[in-house]
Amino acid sequence: MNEYVPGLEGVPATKSNISFIDGEKGILSYRGYPIEMLAERSTFEETALLLLDGDLPTRAKLKAFDQDMRANRQVKFRIRELMRQLPPAGHPMDMLQSMMACLGMDHSGAECLTGGDHCNDVNFVHNTSVTIIAHMATMVTMWEHIRNGYDPIEPRTDLTHAENFLWMLTGKEPDRYIARIMDICLILHAEHTINASTFAVLVAGSTLASPYSVIASGIATLSGPLHGGANQAVVHMLEEIGTPEKAAAYIDAQLKAKKKIWGFGHREYNVKDPRAVILEHLMRKFADYKEGKVGPLFEIAQAVEKAATDRLGAKGIYPNVDFYSGVLYREMGIAPDQFPSLFAMSRVAGWLAHWKEQLGQNRIFRPTQVYTGEVDREYVPLERRG
């Protein structure tokens, strides 16, 4: 009988050279570059191209990629009109999954996937990746306006990816310092080995499905509260706690009731998530930049971290990437239900890198199972079943 491992924990599902995690030492790297280094020195555009192509780009390649991204920010009017027909109260991730699938109907070229086991059309893979990354951010901001009854704001080509996102989201000239913080957040969320949504992308990609359907599967998987929806849940938790003084009692009550503490624990890390370390530092810098004029969530979060770490640290349970990202996004004025969408518009770079890698070594996923049902049952005619 085959051994059953719940959740496939620790079971290798593929070979990849895209990212690496050492959960004992708190190490995360993209293509061999430590996440701390990329957060300090890189940009999302450069990081995305690093993930897609495998190496830090030359100045010329980065400029060309950046120009292509800027040129692909506009979304065709049919997508906008489809968005207008969606329920305004619908979750942004449901919109994003739906519209990503619809994009595939308006972009040709996927026929190269049907000719064999993998796609050798390098230009198709690259151009599609640029389109999807650029369009994803645009659609997130479009929905914020459309669901509130307003027309979306047109993208600009004179701004970076992060700057343009903030411009389209708020309609205000982006603050360069805050845009840089957003840029780092996008870098931190861009890739994280074979997590649930990336595995969904691999499975869909292995069938040679359209890349738009492949990414839609990643969005669907990311939307769950145990994955990309956790940062939204963190903010709701902190708001429920209300003050730093109530943090310890809240944690004790949750643990006694055997309930989840949102933003804590990660299957890959037995120490504090290195991305959480950077995000906490970014939140401190943001508060300093605002001269302390920020809401109470950060102070409550720090009290929760101390209380939870005191009680759970010995078990290797520490803050993960979701714990401080939601706090930071909330202070930037972003609606909590948009947090998973921001996660998706960043993680799409990693998804596409894995899609490209899967095409180059493709074998359709077809795992087995451990059957636990009955065997050789007699079929009883309906009239004898009572």
- The set of catalytic residues is 266, 322
End-to-end CA distance of the chain: 37
CA distance 301 to 323: 8
CA distance 379 to 90: 45
> Cα angle at 211 between 207 and 217, to 5 degrees?
75
CA distance 361 to 345: 26
**Sign of the Cα pseudo-torsion (13, 17, 19, 22, in order):** positive
